[in-house]
Amino acid sequence: MKDTQTIKKQANNTQKTMRISGSEAIIHCLLAEGVDILYGYPGGAIMPVYDELYKFRDKIHHVLTRHEQGAAHAAQGYARISGKVGVAMATSGPGATNLITGIADAQIDSTPLVCITGQVASHLLGSDAFQETDIVGISTPVTKWNCQVTKASQIPEAIAKAFYIAKSGRPGPVLVDITKDAQLEEFDFKYEKCTGVRSYNPIPDTDTEAVKEAAKLINAAKKPMIVWGQGVILGKAEAELKAVIEKAGIPSAWTILGASAVPTSHPLNVGMVGMHGNYAPNVLTNQCDVLIAIGMRFDDRVTGSLNTYAKQAKVIHFEIDPAEIDKNVKTEIAVLGNSKDSLSQLLPLLETNSHDAWLQEFKDLYAIEFEKVIKEDLTPSKEGLTMGEVIKQINIETKGNAAIVSDVGQHQMIACRYADFNISKSNITSGGLGTMGFALPAAIGAKMAAPEREVVAIIGDGGFQMNIQELGTIFQQKTPVKIVVLNNEFLGMVRQWQQLFFDKRYASTEMTNPNFVAIAEGYYIKARKVVKREELADAVKEMIESKESYFLEVCVEKEGNVFPMIPTGASVSEVRLC
């Protein structure tokens, strides 16, 4: 890892003109942007860049993943926990298209990525040459911006623009496709960081009058409720949010990507909203008089039926992206801008308040949820292990300070519901796209970005097998990731829906699984399997205390369900407890 002075020196050096190849220019551009880790997979159309990368291997650490999708997800994990831009690289054709799932995931979850792909020589474009695909056309719907470079001289401006767009405003993925002849061509190189793009305004100016109106509405509210999302974390507004919550005494809930912005133990943190969120914030969304949405986009998994969502409430929406205003939920007041700036302006205008009677309603509903759901999830009376008690044991050993990287499915919802989050950027998961196979490579990137933190991947037996090959990356890189597979021998979330809504017709959801422990040991990763409750505490303790990577398989009840649950198309107030 290079220190800041080294990076600045490299950036300054690039201001001098020097005659180099396009491929070497790419490396100098990355160095100027402070890149020290990138994830990728070589191939013919990107080989000149890899040849130059070999010469700079003491400055940029390249991580050879076992699949390009793994590279994109690893770059996502790196970006999500560090707040920096993640970088992934691949060759043309299938190499480039294999990045698409990760790029799409990053787009909907607002993750800053720069993806660099090789392309066939410019004179072959459109000829159906070997490993040619129109990756710019393919990626256009799932990128914040993309471009194709056919001349070496275009490389510095394209990459500078890519980094600026990826990280500014509402972050997102960009893709730069570079033809092979552009990589080989020499030119007079000079690099200047991008500081603006014509007609692109990444952070709207905050309207002070809108902030004042929002404050008046909040001060007059009898039953206010906050729902915050990842925009708080992306805007580095955790302290401002906490101050607003505490000064105004407002019960506050979170979306899954907003988790960890405020510690789960905070007395005004009333839990998660959404399809498998907590009972109280879901039900009381339809009873609050003012709903304050901060850095969230009113996703359908949060709102349920829009026809019945918070119709009694006046909605205040704090949001950086104007396209999200009134897209799904009509607002009374929209406050555009970065959440840190907006909440900083709001705070002094708020009256010190408490809403004890209103908060008690959340506590009363939590008590109902505890008796009907939580108690059995965390301290079950039945013989079979539950996913919840595994998360509880991880909480005990990590003291709520671990970064939890979850895949998609029942285990994801259980991890989000029951993990203790004391530190921001601790819940790394695939939110909007719901990508199975996300967690294992994302955990690699997260651990590399934050080696001082414990990183625990929580994965189902289905999702684990989608990118199981990345165990090889963990082994080769010696990345001390802790991997927990909660094995119920089903595609659990789909099976739950089949049970509840398709008369238990378990069509193509039962899994005949391999020997996961043997596979992990085949990659020289220490592994253990737990089938009995009395084995769990010792196994989790052994895993967390390990200084190396560790694989733990826990066999959980086969037909356990995740509740509460809002059926598709139902109102948030129709959330089911069983």
For the annotated catalytic residues, the residue numbers are 68, 130-131, 180, 493
Bridge partners of 375, per DSSP, are none
> For residues 165 and 489, what is the distance between their CA atoms, to the nearest angstrom?
43
H helix runs in 201-338, sequence order: 208-220, 230-234, 238-248, 279-285, 300-303
DSSP H helix total and E strand total for the chain = 25, 20
Cα–Cα distance between 495 and 576 in angstroms, integer?
17
For residues 509 and 490, give the distance between their C-alpha atoms in angstroms, rounded to a whole number: 6
Nearest to 376 by CA among 360, 392, 394, 398: 392
At residue 294, the 3 state secondary structure works out as: strand
Q: Is 517 left (phi over 0), alpha (psi -120 to 50) or beta?
A: alpha
Look at the block and give the residue holding tokens 């490396």: 27
SS3 assignment, position 224:
strand
Half-sphere exposure of 314 (CA within 13 A, CB side): 17
Contacts of 115 (CB under 8 A, 6+ apart): 72, 75, 87, 88, 89, 90, 99, 103, 173, 174, 175, 176
Residue 13 CB neighbours (<10 A): 13
For residue 487, CA distances in Å to 20, 388, 453, 533 come to 53, 13, 26, 14
Residue 121's contacts (CB-CB under 8 Å, 6 or more residues apart) are 129, 179, 180, 181
Amino acid code (one letter) for 476: Q
Nearest CA among 297, 276, 272 for reference residue 107: 297
Q: With beta carbons less than 8 A apart as the criterion, state whether 79 and 85 touch.
A: yes
Q: How far apart are CA 250 and CA 291, in angstroms?
A: 10
Closest CA to 334 of 344, 324, 348: 324
Q: Is 340 left (phi over 0), alpha (psi -120 to 50) or beta?
A: alpha
Closest CA to 345 of 235, 224, 209: 209
Containing H/E element for 188? strand 186-189
Structure tokens at 165: 């767009």
Cβ 90 vs Cβ 98: under 8 Å:
yes
**Where do we find the tokens 């129709």?**
574
